[in-house]
Structure 1
Amino acid sequence: MTKPKIRCSWAGSDPLYADYHDTEWGVPLRDSRMLWEQLMLEGFQAGLSWITILRKRENFRKAFKHFDPAKVARFTEKDIERLLGDEGIIRSRAKIEATIQGAKIYLDMQAKGEEFADYCWSFTQGKVLRGDGKTVHAQTPLSTTISKDMKKRGFKFVGPTIVYAWMQAVGIVDDHAQACFRFNAR
């Protein structure tokens, strides 16, 4: 008889959430566009649960042209109105506008020779920070530092709590619980 996998408690029993936990959450992501996409999705999650975003992620990708920053940066008021009418995503003008602004910032960084992935990982010198598997944080001094820097650059919906959740999701921080089969797996 196969022993069931023990996961972090937040993964619950939803198969979509379990798969996300098992294959994505906490896996170091070093692709600039994917890091930006995840940051934008974390912003949409503000005030909601991640499973809500996860269930709508493919709709978000379609609505935001697969999070291609060059395409999103050119969105107009007409696109915003289209998105506000799209029941497949979170219809928040502020979050939609923040994503468009985030695309412009991403492209500006790139134009100045700064890759988004290098920027994201610079805060840890490219290393994954490993949690102890016992302590649960909503934010940390590092997420506060990154949040302040992102806000200074013009990003929105990047408070310390959102940034910490993003750091966990993209593997900058490995925060799997000690009992989880993924604890220190990488």
Structure 2
Amino acid sequence: MRLILLGPPGAGKGTQAQRLVARHGIVQLSTGDMLREAVRNGTPVGLRAKAVMDAGQLVSDDIVIGIISDRIDQPDCSKGFILDGFPRTVAQAEALDSILAEKGLKLDAVIELKVDQAKLVDRILQRARETAARGEPVRKDDDPVVFKTRLEAYNRDTAVVAPYYAERGLLVAIDGMRPIDEVTQAISDVLETV
């Protein structure tokens, strides 16, 4: 099973991806996590990406596409994967189509979590408070100013990815403002039909 989760930052893609991983035994490929790991490890890609990520901007396509292509080749992706945070642009979606075709693979579904963007800032502030209360470091991109920059970038660049997949008959929209368990069930209902 090969899936993409779409939606603005804070929509719950990461939470739903973790649940899909546990239920289906597939791998979550979060470009944000992969890039943050590269930053933590001080890799060349991480060093190039750090300044861009700290400013709340998107990392260049060539870096992200290379990371995804290499990652899909890993043995743990043989049963499938969930892409969370990629593709972020139509150019990346087209590049992903090419990568998958070269590897003899195809997507099974693209699930878009639709959310009320006006309420997302409150959701992110709550997430930051809960993270801090657990004694964990708060992610830089959970800062309200950085988050608003990321949301603007999503609306400018990434929102057009959903129509790209809708034209290919792969897109299913789900109300991401519902309680987490209801969103999980709605996703499971979709996956039973693919």
Please, what TM-score do these two structures have when normalized by structure 1? 0.29
Structure in which a larger fraction of residues adopt strand: 2
Please, what TM-score do these two structures have when normalized by structure 2? 0.28
